[in-house]
C-alpha cells in the first residue's frame, strides 16, 4: 500500500491551532501583560483550553477540564505541559483581560484576509466585492452582569445582555470588525470604529441613522444604503423618471431629497436619494435611502437585500456555538468566551476557504467537532473525501479455524 496522505501526525485540533501564529500571541501578551502572575497557565494555554471547550460545546468548567484530562496523551500536540484545574481556569477567566482575546481575533482576521488598506477597492469593481454590512445581535444573559435592553418586566428584574456590533465584508462572509457592549448601548456607537477605503459600499438598517456620519462618508467617497423614515424628509428636490423596466421590477419612485430633523434646526441637513420599492415576494412597500446617484434603483434595493447575509452569519454562530452556558459570571469572562467563539468560527471559516472542494459550514464544523482528536489531515480529507473508500476495503470475516473449539 502506498504512502497514506490522509492520516496525519497531528490531531485536527492541532491543525486548527496552527492557524494562530505564535508571533501574534507573543506580541499581544507583551502589549497587555496578560501573563503577569501566571506561572504555568499562560495566555496560550488559556486560549487553547477555551477553544477546546467551545468547539466541543462544553456546558461547564468541569466538562472542559475532564475533556482535556481524557485527551491527556495528546496534550503534547497542543503544547499543554501542565494539567489544568477548574479553580485555575475560573480565576484566569476572571483576571486575564478579555481585550487580549478581542485583539487576537482582529489580528487573525488581518493575518489571513488582509489589512483594510489592502482590500484594493476599485471604482469599477462589482459592488459585491466592495460591499460591507453592519448590524448587531444580542446575547441574553441570565445574570445581571451587563445592563439589559428593552422594557423592565413586572418582576422589576431585567436580565443582563451582551450586544455584538459586527461588520462583515460580503465577499468573505466572516466578521472583519467586532465591538462588544452592554445590550443597552445604542447601535450608533459602533460607527466611530468604522474606517473604510474610498469606493466602498456599506449597508445597514435605520437604527444606525447619523446624518453627520452620512455626510462624512459622502465626502470620503463611500456609498451608503439604508432604510428611511418619512419624518426625515424635509423636502423633495427632484423627481427622477422611472423606466418601464424598473417599474416592472417593483420600483415606484426615485427622488432626490433633503434629509434632516424638522423638529431640530441644529441637526445637519444632507442631500440624499430615496427609492420607493414594492417587493415582489412580500408585497411590501419599502423605502431605501442612499447617497449613490449612479446605480439603478433595483441595484440599490438588491444591496439592502444583501444585508440579510449578516443575519445568516449570526444564526450560524448561535447554532454552532450556542452561548447558553458561560464559563464565568463576570463581564470579563463572558466577553472572553464570546471572543473565543468568534475565533473558533474564524478558524473553521479559514479551513472552508482553503479547501478546494466546496463544503457547507455546518458540515465542516460537525466534522471538526466529532473528530477533533483524530489524526487526519483535515484539508487532504476535505479536498478528496472519497480516497478513504478507495484505499481501504470493507471488513471481511475470517474463515480460519480456531485452535480451541468450544464444546
* Domain presence at residue 194: no
Find the domain containing 283 and state its range: 220-301
pLDDT for position 53: 92
Same domain, 291 and 334: no
Contact 91, 66 (CB under 8 A): no
Same domain, 285 and 336: no
Same domain, 295 and 354: no
Closest of 117, 130, 252 to residue 199, by C-alpha? 130
Q: Is 99 helix (H, G, I), strand (E, B) or coil?
A: helix
Same domain, 59 and 93: yes
Total domains present in the chain: 2
Task: Kindly state the cell numbers that stand for 162.
Answer: 451582551
pLDDT for position 10: 85
* Domain presence at residue 121: no
CA–CA dist 405, 407 (Å, integer): 6
Please say which residue of 286, 301, 316 terminates a domain. Answer: 301
pLDDT for position 152: 46
What spatial distance separates the first Cα and last Cα of the chain, rounded to whole Å?
Answer: 40
Specify the DSSP class assigned to residue 241. Answer: -
* Domain presence at residue 335: yes
Q: Which residues pair with 274 in a beta bridge?
A: 255, 289
* Domain presence at residue 380: yes
Mention every residue, 6+ apart, whose C-beta is less than 8 A from residue 376. 6, 7, 8, 12
Q: How far is CA 93 from the centre of its chain?
A: 22
Taken in order 61, 64, 67, 72, the sign of the CA dihedral is negative
Contact 251, 298 (CB under 8 A): yes
Specify the DSSP class assigned to residue 7. Answer: B
Mention every residue, 6+ apart, whose C-beta is less than 8 A from residue 152. 158
CA–CA dist 198, 176 (Å, integer): 17
Please say which residue of 250, 285, 301 terminates a domain. Answer: 301
* Domain presence at residue 49: yes
CA–CA dist 112, 174 (Å, integer): 11
* Domain presence at residue 383: yes
CA–CA dist 298, 307 (Å, integer): 15
Closest of 106, 160, 108, 97 to residue 336, by C-alpha? 97
* Domain presence at residue 85: yes
pLDDT for position 290: 96
Mention every residue, 6+ apart, whose C-beta is less than 8 A from residue 314. 135, 137, 166
For the chain, 407 residues long, give each residue's pLDDT as a single digit of tens: 445 566 667 889 999 999 999 999 999 999 999 988 887 889 999 999 999 999 999 888 999 888 888 876 666 666 676 778 899 899 999 999 999 999 999 999 999 987 655 555 555 567 778 899 999 998 877 555 555 544 444 444 445 688 999 999 998 889 999 999 988 889 999 999 999 988 899 999 988 988 999 999 999 999 999 998 888 888 999 999 999 999 999 999 999 999 988 777 777 899 999 999 998 888 889 999 999 999 999 999 999 999 999 999 999 998 888 787 888 888 899 999 999 999 999 999 999 999 999 999 999 999 999 999 888 899 989 998 876 555 555 555 555 556 665 55
Q: Which residues pair with 258 in a beta bridge?
A: 235, 271
CA–CA dist 81, 65 (Å, integer): 14
pLDDT for position 151: 44
CA–CA dist 52, 79 (Å, integer): 13
pLDDT for position 133: 96
* Domain presence at residue 313: no
Amino acid at each position: 500500500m502506498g504512502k497514506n496522505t490522509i492520516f496525519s501526525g497531528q490531531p485536527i485540533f492541532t491543525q486548527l491551532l496552527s492557524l494562530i501564529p505564535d508571533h501574534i500571541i507573543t506580541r499581544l501578551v507583551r502589549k497587555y501583560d496578560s501573563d503577569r502572575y501566571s506561572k504555568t497557565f499562560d495566555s496560550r494555554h488559556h486560549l487553547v483550553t477555551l477553544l477546546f471547550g467551545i468547539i466541543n460545546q462544553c456546558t461547564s468548567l468541569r466538562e472542559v477540564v475532564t475533556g482535556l484530562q481524557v485527551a491527556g496523551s495528546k496534550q503534547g500536540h497542543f503544547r499543554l505541559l501542565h494539567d489544568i484545574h477548574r479553580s485555575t481556569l475560573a480565576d484566569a477567566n476572571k483576571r486575564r483581560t478579555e481585550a487580549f482575546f478581542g485583539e487576537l481575533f482582529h489580528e487573525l482576521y488581518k493575518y489571513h484576509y488582509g489589512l483594510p488598506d489592502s482590500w484594493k477597492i476599485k471604482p469599477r469593481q462589482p459592488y459585491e466585492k466592495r460591499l460591507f454590512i453592519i448590524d448587531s445581535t444580542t446575547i441574553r444573559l441570565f445574570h445581571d452582569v451587563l445592563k439589559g435592553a428593552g422594557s423592565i418586566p413586572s418582576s422589576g428584574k431585567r436580565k443582563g445582555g451582551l450586544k455584538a456590533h459586527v461588520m462583515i465584508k460580503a465577499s468573505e462572509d466572516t466578521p472583519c470588525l467586532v465591538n462588544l457592549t452592554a445590550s443597552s448601548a445604542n447601535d450608533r456607537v459602533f460607527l466611530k470604529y468604522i474606517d473604510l477605503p474610498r469606493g466602498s459600499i456599506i449597508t445597514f438598517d435605520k437604527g444606525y441613522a447619523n446624518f453627520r456620519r452620512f455626510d462624512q462618508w459622502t465626502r470620503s467617497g463611500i456609498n451608503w444604503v439604508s432604510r428611511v423614515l418619512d419624518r426625515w424628509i424635509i423636502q423633495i428636490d427632484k423627481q427622477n423618471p422611472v423606466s418601464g423596466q424598473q417599474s416592472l421590477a417593483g420600483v415606484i419612485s426615485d427622488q432626490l431629497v433633503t434629509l434632516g430633523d424638522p423638529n431640530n434646526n441644529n441637526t445637519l441637513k444632507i442631500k440624499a436619494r430615496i427609492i420607493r420599492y414594492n417587493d415582489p415576494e412580500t408585497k411590501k412597500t419599502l423605502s431605501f435611502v442612499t447617497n449613490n446617484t449612479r446605480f439603478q434603483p433595483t441595484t440599490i434595493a438588491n444591496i439592502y437585500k444583501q444585508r440579510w447575509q449578516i443575519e445568516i452569519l449570526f444564526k450560524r454562530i448561535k447554532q454552532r456555538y450556542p452561548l447558553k452556558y458561560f464559563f464565568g459570571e463576570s463581564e470579563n469572562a463572558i466577553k472572553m468566551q464570546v471572543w473565543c467563539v468568534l475565533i473558533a468560527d474564524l478558524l473553521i471559516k479559514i479551513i472552508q476557504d482553503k479547501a478546494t472542494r466546496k463544503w457547507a459550514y455546518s458540515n465542516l464544523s460537525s466534522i471538526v467537532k466529532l473528530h477533533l482528536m483524530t489524526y487526519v489531515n483535515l484539508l487532504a480529507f476535505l479536498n478528496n473525501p472519497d480516497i478513504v473508500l478507495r484505499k481501504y476495503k470493507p471488513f471481511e470475516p475470517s474463515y480460519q479455524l480456531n485452535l480451541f473449539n468450544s464444546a
